[in-house]
Homo-oligomer: A and B are copies of this chain.
Amino acid sequence: MTPGLGLRGAAAGRQGAAAGAAGRCGTIGHMALDPKIADRLKRTPDGLVPAIVQQHDTGEVLMLAWMDDEALHRTLTTGRATYWSRSRGEYWVKGDTSGHVQWVRHVALDCDGDTVLLKVDQVGAACHTGDRTCFDADVLDVTGAP
């Protein structure tokens, strides 16, 4: 089995789980990530890649989330940032609950296909704490040079 086929199988499993969740069925249409993209992805053993989310105009790094093939496919084809929630075990369309939608402006893979960069237009706060970004509250001291 090729890595691409294996991942699509894993994504299909999650797809089934998501289809069983109330209110999500309507978002499921074309299920397969373009194989030319899927073949370039390098995933964790769980079939995921980290997605860095950045505000497209200010450059603020808003948060980091995780995607499987299906989440990336939905993100690219709907323009709504969509992740795989590791804690809840389901797809997560950012803003569906909070209203804090991320409209997708730009998506890129990194040089070795194991990270996604999303540039978005963030509505309201990106962080569930109410902060604009998830990196606002816990700054660490850099004590060394330069």
Q: A98 in the interface, Cβ–Cβ < 8 Å?
A: no
Q: How far is the CA of A113 from the CA of B138 in the complex (A)?
A: 9
Measured as residues with beta carbon below 8 angstroms from the partner, the interface class of chain A is 35 or more
Oligomeric state, in number of copies? 2
Q: A129 in the interface, Cβ–Cβ < 8 Å?
A: yes
The answer to whether residues A109 and B50 also contact, given A59-B60, A79-B146, A146-B103 and a CB cut-off of 8 A, is no
Q: How far is the CA of A63 from the CA of B77 in the complex (A)?
A: 25
Which B residues touch A107, using CB under 8 A?
139-140, 142
Nearest chain B CB to A87's CB is how many angstroms away? 9
Within 8 A of B (CB), among A18-75: 37, 40, 50, 52, 54, 58-61, 63-64, 75
Q: A99 in the interface, Cβ–Cβ < 8 Å?
A: no
Contact of A110 among B121, B138, B142 (CB under 8 A): B138
Known pairs A54-B61, A103-B146, A107-B140 / 7 extra A-B pairs, C-beta < 8 Å:
A37-B140, A54-B59, A75-B142, A105-B142, A106-B139, A107-B139, A108-B139
Interface residues of A (CB under 8 A from B): 37, 40, 50, 52, 54, 58-61, 63-64, 75-80, 103-115, 117, 121, 127-129, 131, 134-146
